[in-house]
Structures are given as C-alpha cells and as structure tokens.
Homo-oligomer: A and B are copies of this chain.
Amino acid sequence: MATSCTQQQQEQMMEQFVTACRDAGLKVTHQRTEIYRQLINQPDHPTAETLHKRLLATLPTISLDTVYRTLTTLEDNGLVSRIQTAESQARFEAVYAAHHHLICSRCKRVVDFQWPVVDTLEPPADVADWGQIDSKTIVMYGVCNTCSNR
C-alpha cells in the first residue's frame, strides 16, 4: 500500500512538480521543492508539524509557517491534498492516483488502499441531482493489526 516509489519515479515526480509550479506561476523555491520531495519520499501522510521536523534536517532554517503556507498553496494548485481525520491536526499527501484511506482509531496512522470497483461504480441518482462531483473518497475507520496485537 503506502510504499514509497523508486528513485526514478521520484525524480520524474519532482520534474513534473517543477513544471506544474511554473505552469501555475509559482516560483520554484528551495523550500517548496524540499517540502514536495519530502512528501513523496515518506508518503505516510505527515502533519505539518511532523513534516517541518523532518525538513529541519535538510533546511535548518525553514519555519513552520512556511510549511503551512506552502502546503496551502500547493493544495490550492492541486499538487497536494489535505486529509481530514478525527484528529485536530490536518495531514497531507502529494496528489497522485485515486485511492482511499484506512485510519486507525488508536495510532491515527493513515494507510492508502485502492478499490477500483467503487471508483467506476455509478453513484445513486440522488447524488447526480445534488450537483457536480469533484472527488470521491472512502474513509474507513478501524483498528490496525499492529495496534490490536498489543
């Protein structure tokens, strides 16, 4: 599931990221590339705070506000998505293939999974009557095996 990708894939994603920034009129700053790189390097849906701590290793002067500001900017441009959980802190991930989320009620870890059948399923008529759908995500809450075996 939420495995990180190969070196090659990463570099490709970074190139696409730079292009996407340019296309969106966003400056390609050191902070932005490192934030995005970190998100694809360790795709475990970190909070802004966790991400900031990790980034300090590479960018010792980066501020938490910049992390927040950058994540918001990238989200506005569809490069990052914000995951709503039952926690107080938001979690973030680089946008890529359609997927869904498993959230452990104990350790709060978020794990991705695919469910192609549902992705292609036609939503009920009620939904079509309501308006236009932009995204569709399944969120399952439960207890992961690591937590329950303890």
Contacts and interface: CB of A to CB of B under 8 A. Distances in A.
Interface of A: 1, 82, 84-86, 102, 104-105, 111, 113-115, 117-118, 121, 123-124, 126-127, 129-148
A131 B103 CA distance: 10
B135 A140 contact: yes
Given A131-B148, A133-B142, 13 more contacts: A82-B86, A102-B131, A111-B130, A115-B123, A118-B138, A130-B145, A131-B142, A131-B143, A132-B143, A136-B138, A137-B138, A137-B140, A139-B139
A117 B146 CA distance: 30
Highest count of chain B CB atoms <10 Å: which of A1, A84, A124, A131: A131
